[in-house]
Chain A
Amino acid sequence: MTCHETDFLLDAMSQGLLDEQQRAALDSHLEGCAACRFKHQVALDARSLMEEGEVPAAFSSAWRQQIRQEEVQPVKQSRHLIRWVAVAAALVVMVGGTWLAGQDRRLADRDSASAIGAVYTQEEFVGGMLDAAAPMGDMNLARSAMPKEAAPQDANQAEKIIRTVRMELTTRQFDLDQAQIQQAAEAAGGRVQDSRMYNNLQNLRSLYLTLRVPSARLDEVVASLKGVGRVQSFTESAQDITEQYADTAMRLKTQQAKMERLQELLTKAESMEDIIAIENSISDTQYELDRLTGSLRGMDSKVDYATLDITLNELSPLDTSKDKEETLTERIRSGVAAAFEEFKNLLADFVVFLSVALPYLLALVVLIIIIRLIVKRRKTK
């Protein structure tokens, strides 16, 4: 028998599977082979390692005591479940509470935004600018506000053109851009004619501005708005009213001549009937004069002050689409800043919720402690 075969027999021996014949074969091989005798001895010694010595008494009593003190298993298991349910409930309460707290903040934001809107919506119609038949006093007021360089051109000179520019912008820096637009208009001697602001459902603002800007400086203002937001649409129109203006001016002249003649006639009139007829005529002519003058001034105003309609839409800070000529790093930066802002808001909401819920949580904790005490007492009985 080879040593390799002996290995199998030794293995069988360790498993207690050796029969008489194999036992004899093994013994005879062992006699002549020191290596296998060694393996055999190791196997015997290994087995005997377990068969001696006593179990330390300390260990023996320790585990028995531990088991007796151990609580009953099924309770343990249900406790496990209770723990998970408790964790889930706590999570739901926290997330829900934070969301609710955030809801308050979002609503508050919207309210404050619409309050701002309300202030702006007090429309500042520049008197008489659009209305040709407006009283003269308002007209003068409007005129006095006009800067020197934008002074109206003489009635019969040059072309009369009404310019209107309409722009739609989107921005992420709403407040900044809004201020910049107004600043640009004011710097050029323009003014806000109408301003309305609305909040949409996502708590994003939209601003509708109607600006009046001296025509001569319209291009300058439009150019200065280049860095503001991202232009979504741009339309420019120029309405030529030269003919209409000349026509009106001519009629005004005729009426003025007529007026002069009537005044002359009045001084010469002798009969009362003549006087009354001339007076009536004068008053009709005066009405016509006023109407034509107003119409001319209205046209002047429209020509001198171009209309700039601007719609400024706020972009969601989390909207990663391209705003103006942003570089990648700028976009990343604004995205990160927005996310950080959101996170800050979330944290704030969480803190708000915690402080609001604190009394209830404390009451809950006290309740739980009392229940646990009662349960424990019942167990020990």
Chain B
Amino acid sequence: MAAKHKADAQRFEELVIPLEKKVYYTCLQLMSNREDAEDCAQEALLKAFRSFHTFRAEAQFSTWLYTIVTRVCVDALRRRREIYSLDLLREEGFEIPSDEAEMYLKLEEAERKAALTAGIQELPPDFRAALVLVDLQGLPYQEAATALGVPEGTVKSRVSRARKALYNILLTKRELFPQNHRLNGERRESK
């Protein structure tokens, strides 16, 4: 028994190692803070190991693992009971003002990333999960759909709405930017 367990643990570890970073950063992007991210990632890996015997070799291990990871994170997010603004998720298109867009492009890379990370946190759990899996992790829609347990079409629509909401946040919620004073100053100068 013990020997079998050891073999299982070893095999599981081998499969997880190449995905470890992705698992951790997926959790980090979803949970928005390191503590929660570590907790969720650990819980997800433990859960995965506990049901490792149900994993069928024909399925892709990464998809199977992401399914568990996203589920753990989304559940944890839902438990937070935070209130998300659904205004941002309207289906109709959001016109991107060129001025504001240019301003984002002028930001330094670190600033853009900080704003992006902050913007993602504004999205409701299901939309955040879809965006993180597709746009951040680069999963094909089909795999993301499997991981989220929803049809592919649903993932596509969620990603599309999440993107629009994110654009909206990045361009209108100035307080998210680390140095909004400088930004405002720049704008004043340009006038």
Residues on A lying within 8 angstroms of B by beta carbon are: 11, 14-16, 34-35, 37-39, 41-43, 45-50, 53-56, 58-60, 62-64, 66-68, 70-76, 379
Closest partner residue, chain A, to B45 (CB atom): A63
B contact residues around A56 at 8 Å (CB): 24, 34, 38
Please tell me if the beta carbons of A49 and B117 are within 8 angstroms of each other in the complex: yes
Please tell me if the beta carbons of B167 and A76 are within 8 angstroms of each other in the complex: no
B contact residues around A53 at 8 Å (CB): 25
Closest partner residue, chain A, to B138 (CB atom): A47
B101 within 8 A of A: yes
Please tell me if the beta carbons of A38 and B138 are within 8 angstroms of each other in the complex: no
B contact residues around A64 at 8 Å (CB): 13
A contact residues around B141 at 8 Å (CB): 15
Please tell me if the beta carbons of A35 and B9 are within 8 angstroms of each other in the complex: no
**A35-B101, A50-B137, A75-B1 given; A68·B9 CB < 8 A:** yes
Residues on B lying within 8 angstroms of A by beta carbon are: 1-2, 4-6, 8-9, 12-13, 16, 20-22, 24-26, 29, 34, 38, 41-42, 45-46, 49-53, 96-98, 101-102, 104-105, 109, 112-113, 116-117, 131, 134-138, 140-141, 160, 163, 166-167, 170-171
A contact residues around B167 at 8 Å (CB): 38-39, 42
Please tell me if the beta carbons of B102 and A34 are within 8 angstroms of each other in the complex: yes
Please tell me if the beta carbons of A45 and B50 are within 8 angstroms of each other in the complex: no
Q: Which of A39, A59, A379 has the most CB of B within 10 A?
A: A59
Please tell me if the beta carbons of B140 and A55 are within 8 angstroms of each other in the complex: no
Closest partner residue, chain B, to A53 (CB atom): B25
Closest partner residue, chain B, to A46 (CB atom): B135
The smallest beta-carbon distance between B168 and chain A, in angstroms, is 11
Closest partner residue, chain A, to B116 (CB atom): A45
Please tell me if the beta carbons of A67 and B45 are within 8 angstroms of each other in the complex: yes
Please tell me if the beta carbons of B101 and A50 are within 8 angstroms of each other in the complex: no
**A14-B138, A42-B166, A58-B38 given; A63·B46 CB < 8 A:** yes
**A34-B98, A41-B105 given; A73·B135 CB < 8 A:** no
Please tell me if the beta carbons of B98 and A49 are within 8 angstroms of each other in the complex: no
Please tell me if the beta carbons of B42 and A70 are within 8 angstroms of each other in the complex: no
Please tell me if the beta carbons of A67 and B105 are within 8 angstroms of each other in the complex: no
Q: What are 18 A-B residue pairs whose CB atoms fall within 8 Å in the complex?
A: A15-B138, A15-B141, A34-B98, A38-B101, A38-B167, A39-B167, A42-B104, A45-B116, A46-B131, A49-B116, A56-B24, A59-B42, A60-B20, A63-B16, A67-B9, A67-B12, A68-B6, A71-B5
